[in-house]
Amino acid sequence: MLRFHCENISTGRLYLDRTEAHHLIHVMRPNLGDKIELFDGSGTIGCAVIAELKRKDVIVDVKEVQTISPRRTGRVIIAASVAKGQRFDWLITKCTELGAEVIAPVIFERTVKLAKGKNSSERFCKLAVSAAKQCGRNFLPNINEPVQLADAVKTLQGSYPQAIMLYGGLSENAKRFKDIIQKDKDVVAFVGPEGGLTENEQELLKNADAIEAKLTKTILRIETAAVAFASILCAARDNS
């Protein structure tokens, strides 16, 4: 069934917003009476039929509404260094598909300079919505504003006080995932920039009780490491 993002879902007739209406009319080319699913990204799902098709507007008749509760344990938080251009867009899309609850862009000492101009938050949100529509996910991830590492650690510790904190590394002290992951525990995974963590940053993370974890024997790009973390953690959680 086709899925569309819609805020304020309730039974009865409602308009899809212009972006979703344009996608439905010009890409999906539906017929009157076709069934679609609506989701608001916060756990509300609506079963609807297409009631009216106009040149720019779509009116749907919502027949049934269901609300599901968000996950309270086993949440996956990916705190990754900001990457250039479309690479971070790809990270947002894939981590959304995999099921990460939070994507937190982090500014490390060696993070590339942030691009100026278009507001990235709006773009990230649109990417997450598109990914959620495709993969069948009902909850959109929370996508934080980019902050310095020290601020990210403080905020995430406050929001997830019982979480296991990880960061990627290749030293002899790095632990294997099977020795770290615990059932139903929230996990915050920090992904540093491609220049690596500085000594000060490693010390900051260790002082926050973060555990160095080894993904592979090779050095990974930011988006690759972030998706690898999300894949392992979400698969371990969802298949336990």
| pTM recorded for the entire structure | 0.93
Whether residue 234 has pLDDT greater than 90: yes
- What's the confidence (pLDDT) of residue 117? 45
What digits encode the pLDDT tens for the residues 160-186? 999 999 999 989 989 988 889 888 999
d(Cα 165, Cα 182) in Å, to the nearest integer? 12
What digits encode the pLDDT tens for the residues 89-137? 999 999 999 999 999 999 999 998 765 545 688 899 999 999 999 999 9
d(Cα 188, Cα 78) in Å, to the nearest integer? 6
Instruction: Let me know the angle formed at the C-alpha of 100 by 130 and 193, rounded to the nearest 5 degrees.
Output: 100
Cα dist. 218→98, 211, 214 in Å?
A: 22, 19, 9
- What's the confidence (pLDDT) of residue 1? 85
Whether the CB-CB separation of 96 and 135 falls below 8 Å is answered with yes
Q: Between residues 27 and 96, which one has the greater pLDDT?
A: 96
**Largest Cα span, the chain:** 63
- What's the confidence (pLDDT) of residue 136? 95
Domains parsed from the chain with CATH numbers: 2-67 (2.40.240.20), 76-238 (3.40.1280.10)
71-96: average pLDDT: 95
Whether residue 36 has pLDDT greater than 50: yes
The two structure tokens encoding residue 87: 């690479």
d(Cα 205, Cα 203) in Å, to the nearest integer? 5
State the DSSP code for 158: H
Measured in whole angstroms, the distance separating CA 85 from the mean position of its chain's CA atoms is 17
- What's the confidence (pLDDT) of residue 115? 54
Whether residue 237 has pLDDT greater than 90: yes
Whether residue 79 has pLDDT greater than 80: yes
Measured in whole angstroms, the distance separating CA 181 from the mean position of its chain's CA atoms is 20
3-state SS assignment for residue 189: strand
- What's the confidence (pLDDT) of residue 114? 66
3-state SS assignment for residue 231: helix
137-164: average pLDDT: 97
* Nearest CA among 153, 135, 130 for reference residue 238: 135
